[in-house]
Structure 1
Amino acid sequence: MGAAAVAAGALGAVSVAGQAHAEEGTGFALNEYQTIYGGDVNYIPVRKGAWSAPNGPVAFENREIAADEISSAEECDVLVIGTGVSGMMAMLTAAEEGARVIAVEKMTKGRSAWESIGGCNSRFQREVNRVPDANEYFRAIMRANDYRQPAEVVHAFLDNSGDTVDFMQDMLDRSDTGIKIFSREVPGNPYGYECIQGEHSFDIPEKYKWNTWLLGPPVMAGLTQVAQAHENIDLRFRTAGVQLVSESGRVTGAILKRMDDETYFQVNAKAVVLSTGGYEANANLMEAWVRPEDYAVAGTWDPSQGTTGDGHMMGLAVGASMDPMPHPVMSFGLAYPYKLTNLPGMGAAVMAFAIAVNEKGKRFVCEGLQMNFIANALVSQKDYGAGCWKVFDTTMACATADPAEVDAAVTEAVENGWVKKGDTIEELASAIGVDPATLADTVATYNGYFQGNAPVDAKFGRDLTTVMPLTQGPFYACNMKNMILTTVGGLTIDGEAHVLDGEGDIIEGLYASGNAAGSFYAGSYPRHLPATSVGRCATFGRVAGRNAAKGA
């Protein structure tokens, strides 16, 4: 039967009566994502926020789908739902194990908005003697999640991620892309957080004319080419997972929907892998499961609108458990106008040299920290950081570009409202709505740290050896916000990527990977451990695909 029948009532609407200080008979309405556990819940009061990013097409349906709505039925060994990097690794691994695979993707292609891949003990690391210490890597990940996630899953990542990186290269070698993986050295930092040499990048051939740091699209294009040519893979786009099908507690397939003509069909499979990604393209879900401060004023940087939480909801509907809420997100402190940071001198001035001030005109964070720490400090300010600014001067703007180009750039930036300008710090303060005396004092104090032979930031400990004081007008300010890339909380899994139920037992026939899976992060995503996100997604895709094919 379909998931809706299995979970009858579990995902229904609930009205929670008001408690103290509420008039008799009043209550507040909850959306469907706030009632996933029925009535056996505690509600924690937080101030409301609104997530304003574009909504994508939600495929999950919480209803009984009648037999006469299902046009046909098909059979396979492994059904993979979602074909980003996690689903791609799942389908290729299962196919290489000899399984007959049907893989479906709701959108026109799998999500590919990523930069690099993390792993431990790949052949590329061994070639350059840069294999991370597995125990150190383990402790770094566990410290990042405050030891709130199972060690088994983190160990599984470390045990399988090097092989996953190697496998990805093997698959790319079958494509015509010529893309090569290499171990990239992670630079150290003066701020005391871990420096783990787990990152791998991609050498993209010149034929692509690829000039962005986002390397996922050509890599995914190559892997998709290999999947489409594989004799054991039937890869279908614009096809969504709607509900899981189960019998006697075992998942036996799914009801799918053709997005173009909205017809349903069923695929019966020995195993199903949920690789549907996060849910940042679903505002109701974001507002139900994520801390308001993380999204209330955030920018968004995610070109995919397919990540609407379909896998989360399909799993919950058959009794899966999920990471405790609020869920962690990948939040970075770099939401600036994209066109601004591409102008000559502006990117370095804003992101590398500027100081960060809040609505009072005071510094509130060490500006040299990794982006996740900047984001957390930012949203702890008044109104979740809505009144925070990056302040820089002409010297900073000209540090990496010709002054003539900078003049044209700042003119364009001011005219478009991307930055505010003042000939003096006090004029700039008035332009951005902060107290002129306070901002002037903040700048004077900061500039004072550069005096003497060994500059020291006595307030926040910023490394001053690669930055400069604010001394030359005109002065500029750019509004800064945190940026959401994706959510990283999901269904609980074990080290073999089995989805677990509320008792911690395996749901037979069901696996999860990527951002549809949880059991790895808590609090927020650790950007100071580069490429852990894609590494985790790819690795558990491979683990899930291998176990699904073997029935393990």
Structure 2
Amino acid sequence: MNTIECDLLVIGGGLAGFCAALSAAEAGQHVVLLEKTAQTGGSSAMSGGCLAFAGTDLQRKHGITDSSELLFTDLIEVGKGECDADLVRLYTDNQLATYEWLRTHGVVFSDVIEAASGQSVPRVHNVDPADMVRLLEQTARATGKVDVFMGTRARRLLRSEAGRVTGALAEQAGEVITFSARRAVLLTSGGFVQDRALIHRFAPQYDNAVFIGGEGNEGDGLRMAWALGADVRDLAYIKGTFGKHPTDDNNHHACLVVYKGAIAVNQYGHRFVDESQSYKLLGDAVMQQTYGVAYQILDQSIMDSGDNQVRILDFTRRLEEGLFVEAQSLEQLARLIEVPEDVLLAEVSAYNEAVRKGEAPAFGRRHLVHQHGQLCPIERAPFYAYPSTAAVFGTYCGVVVDTQMRVQDVFGEPIEGLLAAGEMIGGFHGAAYMTGSALGKAAVFGRIAAATAGTE
């Protein structure tokens, strides 16, 4: 059996893995990174390319006043208080330095997105996610201190007699290889969106949802940590993202027209939710409707407010793809989507009247998204409907870690030599989700894990 040695063994080749690998290499560590699939990137590369940062030069350029403290407050509020405040504070204290570190390594942020889930001010910085991961991978490899093993699946973690994690057994083309880590093993292998049995075990309400994520996200890291007694949290908060077209297999992203002023109605033409909430909470709400499907209803003014630089706001492309239903009147739109005309007209009329009076419509909606943006009436023809369900893009729950990214066992003690970062940790998001916080935490916590490994 072959044995390959390194200082830090990273299991998973997404954003968290390569941020950790590059950071560790810059500190002089020899890193081995294992990726079980044929290409790196995982769910990171398939994401919308949003990272939540506060206090950046791009925000100042647009006159946006933001701070780490406001970001902290929003994250706690969006998470319904169910998140680990120490992890949230760790993120907010380190996010600006991570933004600058990414820029130093050539990551280009196109701009700040205005409409984003869970934010009091615009703070989502947009990138091409696949390009970002490729760039960090190339930069890491170029250090000469990072070796990447593709098509290599970690199967079991190895421990010393004293109980310290010392490496992993992995399989490559039918051959078993031992990887030995002098400092630490870092799990960055993502969640388990591709394991429907695990999804059913923890979130059976999403059995009929759409599932989209990296092909390798089958819970490998979670199971390996479980086997060593790792504690877990937030499994009850697995949620889908509202806005995925239920019949389209080509578009792997949600369309969030509600964040630009659309309303959501169910099969009976009724609004059923405050559309400004986190799209994870909207995902819960739509799955409780008949068939788990709703319609985002909008007019031409809202259609014109889209942003073709942002996948979730690229309404024009979705229209060109034939995913919107278009009509010259609300009556015609109701007939086309087969909801009662009188109900839809009454809902839109009541909504518009509340908006014009400056009052909160039904369900208490006061903003476009979270605490940002003014509501607008739906009145300018033509009118559109976007069929929408929930898609589970990631599980965002998993092992318990401390502020050094050390995995904790069920008794609250660190499992020596074992670290985790990225999607497979629990505690950060809590009950819901802020746009950009998944990629953001992957980058921030990946770097912190590398720093911890340097002290082991």
Q: Which amino acid aligns with 1:251?
A: V
**Could you state the TM-score of these two structures normalised by the residue count of structure 1?**
0.68
Greater shift, 537-546 or 106-115, is seen at: 106-115
Aligned to 1:87: 17
Aligned to 1:500: 408
Aligned to 1:36: none
In 2, the alpha carbon distance for the partners of 1:389 and 1:458 equals 18
In 1, the alpha carbon distance for the partners of 2:170 and 2:74 equals 40
In 2, the alpha carbon distance for the partners of 1:167 and 1:450 equals 43
Which structure would you say has the larger RCO, counting Cα contacts within 8 Å and 6 or more residues apart? 2
Correspondent of 2:229 among 302, 315, 319: 319
Q: Residue 238 in 1 paired to residue 151 in 2?
A: yes
Q: Residue 217 in 1 paired to residue 130 in 2?
A: yes
Go from structure 1 to structure 2 and tell me whether the alpha carbon gap of 1:127 and 1:463 turns closer, same or farther (over 3 Å shift).
Answer: closer
Q: Which amino acid aligns with 2:101?
A: F
Aligned to 1:298: 209
Task: Write the deviation string for residues 390-429 of structure 1: whole angstroms up to 9, x where unpaired.
Answer: 34567876888xxxxx9xx98983xxxx566777655654
Correspondent of 1:389 among 269, 291, 295: 295
Aligned to 1:147: 81
Correspondent of 1:256 among 170, 179, 189: 170
Task: Write the deviation string for residues 290-343 of structure 1: whole angstroms up to 9, x where unpaired.
Answer: x333x23433443x21111111111111111111431434x332112669999x
Task: Write the deviation string for residues 250-272 of structure 1: whole angstroms up to 9, x where unpaired.
Answer: 101000111xx222111111210
The 3-state SS of whatever aligns with 1:256 is strand
- CA displacement at 1:389 relative to structure 2: 2.0
Go from structure 1 to structure 2 and tell me whether the alpha carbon gap of 1:160 and 1:424 turns closer, same or farther (over 3 Å shift).
Answer: closer
Q: Which amino acid aligns with 1:549?
A: G
Report how many aligned residue pairs link the two structures.
432
Q: Which amino acid aligns with 1:328?
A: I
Q: Which amino acid aligns with 1:231?
A: G
Greater shift, 502-511 or 428-437, is seen at: 428-437
In 2, the alpha carbon distance for the partners of 1:483 and 1:438 equals 27
In 1, the alpha carbon distance for the partners of 2:345 and 2:54 equals 48
Go from structure 1 to structure 2 and tell me whether the alpha carbon gap of 1:239 and 1:526 turns closer, same or farther (over 3 Å shift).
Answer: same
In 2, the alpha carbon distance for the partners of 1:499 and 1:266 equals 22
Aligned to 2:439: 534
Cα contact 2:21–2:450 (8 A) shared by 1: yes
Greater shift, 495-504 or 103-112, is seen at: 103-112
Go from structure 1 to structure 2 and tell me whether the alpha carbon gap of 1:532 and 1:265 turns closer, same or farther (over 3 Å shift).
Answer: same
- CA displacement at 1:538 relative to structure 2: 0.9
Q: Which amino acid aligns with 1:138?
A: F
In 2, the alpha carbon distance for the partners of 1:476 and 1:128 equals 31
Return 5+ residue gaps in structure 2 as ranges.
307-314, 369-373
Task: Write the deviation string for residues 43-70 of structure 1: whole angstroms up to 9, x where unpaired.
Answer: xxxxxxxxxxxxxxxxxxxxxxxxxxxx
Go from structure 1 to structure 2 and tell me whether the alpha carbon gap of 1:450 and 1:524 turns closer, same or farther (over 3 Å shift).
Answer: closer
Cα contact 2:355–2:375 (8 A) shared by 1: no
Correspondent of 1:113 among 16, 30, 46: 46
In 1, the alpha carbon distance for the partners of 2:413 and 2:87 equals 15
Go from structure 1 to structure 2 and tell me whether the alpha carbon gap of 1:195 and 1:420 turns closer, same or farther (over 3 Å shift).
Answer: closer
Go from structure 1 to structure 2 and tell me whether the alpha carbon gap of 1:392 and 1:256 turns closer, same or farther (over 3 Å shift).
Answer: same
In 1, the alpha carbon distance for the partners of 2:448 and 2:360 equals 46
Cα contact 2:397–2:424 (8 A) shared by 1: yes
Aligned to 1:46: none
- CA displacement at 1:76 relative to structure 2: 1.2
Go from structure 1 to structure 2 and tell me whether the alpha carbon gap of 1:380 and 1:510 turns closer, same or farther (over 3 Å shift).
Answer: same
Greater shift, 149-158 or 419-428, is seen at: 419-428
Correspondent of 2:108 among 174, 180, 183: 180
Cα contact 2:257–2:296 (8 A) shared by 1: no
**Could you state the TM-score of these two structures normalised by the residue count of structure 2?**
0.81
Aligned to 1:157: 91
In 2, the alpha carbon distance for the partners of 1:135 and 1:242 equals 41
Correspondent of 2:200 among 279, 282, 287: 287
Correspondent of 2:282 among 365, 370, 374: 374
Larger radius of gyration between Structure 1 and Structure 2: 1
Correspondent of 2:101 among 144, 157, 167: 167
In 1, the alpha carbon distance for the partners of 2:83 and 2:361 equals 36
The 3-state SS of whatever aligns with 2:398 is coil
Cα RMSD for the two superposed structures: 3.7
Q: Which amino acid aligns with 1:113?
A: M
Cα contact 1:334–1:351 (8 A) shared by 2: no
